[in-house]
Chain A
Amino acid sequence: MAALPKRIIKETERLVADPVPGINATPHEDNLRYFDVTIHGPASSPYEEGIFRLELFLPEDYPMSPPKIRFLTKIYHPNIDKLGRICLDVLKTNWSPALQIRTILLSIQALLGAPNPEDPLANDVAQRWKEDEKAAIETAREWTRTHATV
């Protein structure tokens, strides 16, 4: 395997030495481009108290291309689909090589606090979110209790 770029080493060091509250990212020992991630659901959101597991992979041309990230824990959210894929502009067209794993994970945490049904990935969820927000939030809470608490 090719030597790990300095950028990835630095980022990893910083994630360990100076962790972001509510977010944890640990690289696999046998593949330093592959991270196990957990994100705590933000307070006063339907995901509060939940701990969500994600996988993160840094592709060969990172940071020119964005990291690949996916939720492993089931989550009821208009911008996250059944496979855990996330609809977030900074992971696609608005990616900049100056962004980091840390900033991306913070953006994902912020997305949990502010779902955007106008730009949906999971259409059925978004539809429900628009029609009956209260019921949708209740489902999100339920899923959090069932799937995201240990």
Chain B
Amino acid sequence: MSDDDFMSDEDFNDESLEETDSEFEDETYDDDRYLKYDKPQRKSYEVEFRVYSDSQIQKAQAEQIEEVSNILGLPSEQCAVLMRHFKWQKERLIEQYLNSQEEVLGAAGLDTNAARTLKIEKVKGFMCDICCNDENGLETFALRCDHRYCVECYTVYLEQKIKEEGESGRIQCPCEGCSTLVDSKAIKLLAPKSVSDRYQVLLNRTYVDDKDNLRWCPAPNCEYAVDCAIGPKQLTTIVPTVVCSCGHHFCFGCGLNDHQPCPCALVKKWIKKCEDDSETANWISANTKECPKCLATIEKNGGCNHMTCRKCKHEFCWVCMGPWSEHGTSWYNCNRFEEKAGVDARDHQAKSRASLERYLHYYNRYANHEQSAKLDKDLYLKTEKKMTLLQSQSGMSWIEVQYLDSASKVLQQCRQTLKWTYAFAFYLERNNLTHIFEDNQKDLEMAVETLSELFERPVEQLASLKVEMMDKTAYVNNRRIILLDDTAKGLLEDKWNFTVDLN
């Protein structure tokens, strides 16, 4: 079994692993005493993973193919076809091959007539069925099925399949209805280097696609793959966020951007819901509703959620319909959608509207953080500019202004987390643990807004704010760790009840 697993330690030398690890440490936690990553102690929301480069993946394939080739006594080109056919399950391949050699070869598209070596030949009296050329001395090629075509036609055919159609491991003989596969030896013999290079890249892709524990980094143009042992069945108890060497944080379970603490199944449902409900929600949010006290019709004007009934002067919250007096002065306080208090205010005729309002409550906050996340790139660019300014104005060295970079990164990451806490909360059923989650969410949100506010101060002030900013950055990051740790433990121990099924 362990032999079958993708990359055991022997597959890669320590040198390359060192490289991968240090690369990512430099990337995210550069010279910051507060944020130093505690490697040996994995947190409850972290998963084990490794990042592999294109060449490492090629090497791993070559080694496994070589091993099978030695055991079965077949040329490595044919073993490669067999391994791909068996989705790299080496033991299964060897067992079945030893049982019925001919059947296995046939099923994988390898003709049993393996004795003939593939080479470019000149055949007397030959005419190519594709181009109808019948010149003397024409170079020809045929796979083991003996369907022979001229080399020029074969090459054009392979080029079209590989470059135009993006095929690799499943290219068949050009003869109609013949299922004999073109192997890598034939590619080497016939195709120009650019085509065979592309073939190798595409084959590499199928290797990663075929293995459950491997996934390509979805960042555009990134050529790293991530190895992680979390399988589809574990996705109800863990959110496997991985970090590629290119810096991209993504979910190994579904491939989307990091969505901790929300499990993949909820993310999928939430995204679908947002798509389905956006029209209705927009309509409802733009409409009037009744004063919870005197039932007079009230129109919402402006963005403020603090409503005052014109008729009875009752003050209430537009979002939860609860009395405004219970809300304090800060808008943060309406992250609690008190089911009990809410029910009193919302009579049953308004129930369907209430469920939409409930959705809106979470959606607005989710969208707000998503919006901010979209500004992340601008923020980051702004940071760089600020850092250059700061260096020239204050005489600080590049290393000394790195706290701004850290602050920016932490802000981006926390907004991402906050966004998903609202999807999480939407599906969360109240129990005696939910208030801890809500408090954590509120703390993180307030910390993020405070840091964000500091961050946008004029450049002249930034130098004097260094210590405060570093402290706040560390604090915000810590709030995020606490929230993620609490939610991850709850998932793992099955302490959260959701209003929908995670399976």
Contact = CB atoms under 8 A, between A and B. Distances in A.
A5 B176 CA distance: 21
Chain B contact residues, majority secondary structure: loop
Interface stretch (B6-14, B153-161, B356-364): B153-161
Contacts of B147: 98
B132 interface: yes
B133 A64 contact: no
B132 A6 contact: yes
Given A64-B157, A64-B160, A97 B174 contact: yes
A64 B162 CA distance: 13
Most chain B CB neighbours (cut-off 10 Å) among A6, A61, A90, A98: A98
A96 B132 contact: no
Contacts of A90: 176
Given A64-B160, A97-B153, A97-B157, A5 B131 contact: yes
Given A64-B157, A64-B160, A96 B174 contact: yes
Nearest to B161: A64
B131 A98 contact: no
B219 to A, nearest CB: 31
A61 B157 CA distance: 10
Contact of B175 (A6, A10, A98): A98
B130 interface: yes
Nearest to B128: A7
B67 interface: no
A9 B156 CA distance: 20
Interface in A70-103: 90, 96-99, 103
Interface string B129-157: 11111000000000000010100010011
A64 B176 contact: no
B132 A97 contact: no
Nearest to A65: B160
Interface size class of B (residues with CB under 8 A): 10 to 19
B160 to A, nearest CB: 5
Contacts of B132: 5-7, 9-11
A63 B130 CA distance: 7
A7 B176 contact: no
Contact of B131 (A6, A65, A99, A103): A6
A99 B176 contact: yes
A98 B133 contact: no
Interface size class of A (residues with CB under 8 A): 10 to 19
A98 B129 contact: yes
A96 B175 contact: yes
A145 B495 CA distance: 72
A63 B160 CA distance: 11
Interface in B157-186: 157, 160, 174-177
A11 B147 CA distance: 20
Contacts of A10: 132
Interface string A1-18: 000011101110000000
Most chain A CB neighbours (cut-off 10 Å) among B149, B156, B176: B176
Nearest to B160: A64
A97 B133 contact: no
B160 A98 contact: no
Contacts of B130: 7, 63, 97-98
Contacts of B133: 6
Nearest to A7: B132
A3 B139 CA distance: 22
A61 B163 CA distance: 14
A11 B174 CA distance: 18
Nearest to B165: A93
B118 to A, nearest CB: 19
Interface in A6-42: 6-7, 9-11
Contact of A64 (B129, B156, B175): B156
A9 B129 CA distance: 13
Interface in B167-207: 174-177
A90 B131 CA distance: 19
Given A7-B131, A97-B130, 12 more contacts: A5-B131, A6-B132, A6-B133, A7-B130, A7-B132, A65-B160, A96-B177, A97-B153, A98-B130, A98-B149, A99-B176, A103-B176
Interface of A: 5-7, 9-11, 61, 63-65, 90, 96-99, 103
22 contacts: A5-B131, A6-B131, A6-B132, A6-B133, A7-B130, A7-B131, A7-B132, A61-B160, A64-B157, A64-B160, A65-B160, A90-B176, A96-B174, A96-B175, A96-B176, A96-B177, A98-B129, A98-B130, A98-B147, A98-B174, A98-B175, A103-B176
